[in-house]
Amino acid sequence: MSKLTCLIIEDEPLAVNVLTSYVAEVPFLSLLGTCKDALLATDFLRTQPVDLLFLDIHLPRLKGMAFLKTLPNPPAVIITTAYHQYAVEGFELNVNDYLLKPIRFERFLVAVNKVLKPNRALPTQIEADPPKDHLFLTVQKKKIRIQFADICYIESQREYVKVVTAQATYLTKLSTHEIEALLPPDRFRRVHRSFIVSVEKIGAYTAEAVEIGGVSIPIGRGYRDAISMF
């Protein structure tokens, strides 16, 4: 199984430590180095190209976005910052994802999974399988098949989650973290500690809420970066 090589470009020691520990937990990532500014990263990349950059925006000497524009053939890029207002510029530069600090591990994992190329990192027998279009939930001791396309949103109910579809509502004993891991990250977004929404079901949204089927779902302050990917 090959790995994605990566470089962290970050001047905050705490952020470097967090990202380094997260990379170490993901089997398909390999950290080749860290740089505290973009000019050091430029020198690094001349001799050691990588598959993925974790790039802070507010760097000394040369800002992250300006540095990204200097790369003729940039690798995959995940922006890491405390400032959500740069999301639009980041996606205009074709970054793969945009993480707001403090970065949660589950959100980090969603971002790196977007970069992961199945033909490089997954075993052959998994590559040959068609993508799943459903999951099974245990509801009142019965396993119920639910198509991803039918799910509108999911709401935390303490030790349960409520899965709302166009046809029915199901209550199952899972945490939001557990069910999030079962969902395809390109089709679902966590927008609040208690809510996961289907991107394709969103009818409208603001910086504070998304609307699905006439229901207004709040966007948590720590999840504002999610709206940049709708």
pLDDT band per the 50, 70, 90 thresholds, residue 123? very low
Name the nearest CA neighbour of 195 among 230, 229, 223: 223
pLDDT in tens, 29-54: 999 999 999 999 999 999 999 999 99
pTM of the full predicted structure? 0.52
pLDDT band per the 50, 70, 90 thresholds, residue 127? very low
Tokens, residue 17: 């430590």
pLDDT in tens, 216-230: 999 988 777 656 555
Q: Is 102 exposed, middle or buried (0-12, 13-18, 19+ CB in 10 A)?
A: exposed
pLDDT in tens, 193-215: 899 999 999 999 888 899 999 99
Backbone angles phi, psi at 186, to 5 degrees: -80, -10
Residue 22 has a pLDDT of 94
Any idea which residue has 């990349």 for tokens? 45
Residue 126 has a pLDDT of 31
Long-range contacts of 17-22 (CB under 8 A, 24+ apart): 18/102, 18/103, 19/54, 19/80, 19/103, 19/108, 22/103, 22/105, 22/108
Report the run of H or E that residue 148 belongs to, with start and end.
none
Using only C-alpha atoms, what is the Rg of the chain?
A: 19
What is the residue-averaged pLDDT of the chain?
A: 84
Asked if 54 and 30 count as a contact pair (C-beta separation under 8 A), the reply is: no
CB atoms within 10 A of CB 97: 23
- Spacing of C-alpha 218 from chain mean position: 19
Give the integer Cα–Cα distance in Å for 80 and 90. Answer: 11
Give the integer Cα–Cα distance in Å for 71 and 180. Answer: 34
Give the integer Cα–Cα distance in Å for 132 and 152. Answer: 17
Tell me the domains of the chain and their CATH numbers: 4-124 (3.40.50.2300), 134-229 (2.40.50.1020)
pLDDT in tens, 69-86: 898 888 999 999 876 554
Tokens, residue 175: 């945490």
Residue 169 has a pLDDT of 95
